[in-house]
Structure 1
């Protein structure tokens, strides 16, 4: 189900690069969080950053960040602040190696890695069985969330989910990032991935488990090359095309049975129209918002350039707490 756009940017923020870059520059103060280390079945770990004190029976919002993001990311900080304002307990699910400390294994995380996310949700349900779980995922984390919803189907542990700026068709997004100004974003992210891989080889004595050498890593200057030589072999895929095909969430949206909101901007510099689902590709439990503007995880809707206001956070809170608000209105 598609929904008429509710978002309109100010005149000074209709450019997709302003929408994408400005929020990155003007980060908001992160509220106080506490960290919980979660040991994984394979001997690795991921870290959870908690806002508030979780209580059994009280709802929890799970936040999944994007590529090389963390609880320090501008969009995560804003979501934590919005959750705090709404008196909603929230927890940031860090992908492996993204919490400021290298993960233990040679493998890392990827766009279709639903297992770690599902493990976090199962742990939350174990410790807080009466708590309603909601989730919001951004970019890569959004694709992971959408894929989880579409593959878990009725077994999803989430009551509601919101997917923001997700690369639902990975191959098309990788090609997009090789052209025009979008190459700037690719270069920024690839350098972070290269640095992380080199550090892992140097500091953790994992050379024998790596599919490439330090010298080869420096030559992998596009997502297509990096995913083909590093991401795919490290995570059990036959190659980059196999990885992109099996990890893209677009094909499973029709199988989603729990309420899920997907938000895209048509001018997203990370995307092409290939990420836009057709009505036939959406289940009746998916609400789809396609906005003309918004960039990549931007969606500035007002304020001034030095103090912008944003659309996503209020939209997420309104959507996930829709039933609670309706019940409060009836009481």
Structure 2
């Protein structure tokens, strides 16, 4: 695996993408006369994390995922509310960590197996998806629950393909039971009186995230289009706690603010190449995992402008690198 990345043009491409995004961020910072910040070097740091992921042993990645699942389930059983204990990282943030780790786990451990995946692999994926959906619902994360539901549905379909008609119905029944349990069971986390499913009904279309999207494009100027819109409104969080943070509640809008148009174009190009390659390989489960992650970060700003960007580079490296000779091409 390490040699496939080292001996292919993927390593050079990742470096070029990282440099282009970082340069774009530096131009935006200089244009707005702001202090130098980590956005200008974030992409370069993310590229370094990609190479580090290739050095981590497979069993260690698998163990880390199991460990996080165990710790999170323990918090649920002990009714520990992270919003009260670790104010900057609530349940919704933890589910994003979990989903990102699962994406890394999938593309690092199981994606290269392709047609040699066993029934045990599909069952393991299904169990991970079920736990992810359960935790997402009771974390009150609406976007997290939506993304987890996508993964659960796809994992269900994948597992159904392993059985005959009678057992297929059992898989469907178990999946419906999981959804039913999470909708009707009592709240597990702390003293919370509602879940992510309830929050969808409570907020509707008046949620601040929708307002932010509308405001962002209403206040967009020609300069803001190329250099990132600094005139849009935001949602103040953590009022009175050390400092008030402005949260634009969208990784896509935040990426445009930090990197400008050219940086966003680079990210879109990477994602386009990944999906095109996955379509050629007919890797449907991988496609839906990526779609779930992109849907998840649509309502959370902490992704493209943090080291999480490494996940985008990593998926690109696996899709374009490991299978560069699968159809006689050189990664294109």
- TM-score normalized by structure 2? 0.28
Of Structure 1 and Structure 2, which has the larger fraction of its residues in helix?
2
Of structures 1 and 2, the larger Rg is shown by 2
